[in-house]
Amino acid sequence: MSGFLITRNQNAERSFIARRGPDLTYIADTLTRDNLVIRIVNGGTNMPAFGPSLKPGELDDLVAFLETRKRPLRPEDQANDTASSAASVVK
């Protein structure tokens, strides 16, 4: 019985943690680098401002990481991306 309670409590804690702050899973699909900096420094919906507590290098590192948070390309999108890249080189 106690194992069940621990699991139940841990799941409740995970659910609570998951709802705190914005969903950053694919944030780079939504915000530009400049917008990421503005949100981190000034805060935003459901997010506190971190500007006063971050050093410039830390802010750059955080933004660089968040810029990697994009949806993976589907195979058909990769083919289109490769074709458009080749066409731009030919021009």
Domain residue spans of the chain: 22-71
- Count other C-beta atoms under 10 Å from residue 27's C-beta: 17
Give me the helices (H) in the chain, please: 2-18, 33-42, 56-66, 75-90
The answer to whether residues 36 and 63 touch, using CB atoms and an 8 Å cutoff, is: yes
Cα 79 from chain centre: 25
Report the distance separating Cα 24 and Cα 26, nearest Å: 6
Query: Max CA-CA distance within the chain?
Result: 69
Residue 12 confidence (pLDDT): 56
> Which residues of the chain, if any, have pLDDT below 70?
1-20, 80-91
Share of the chain above pLDDT 70, in %: 65
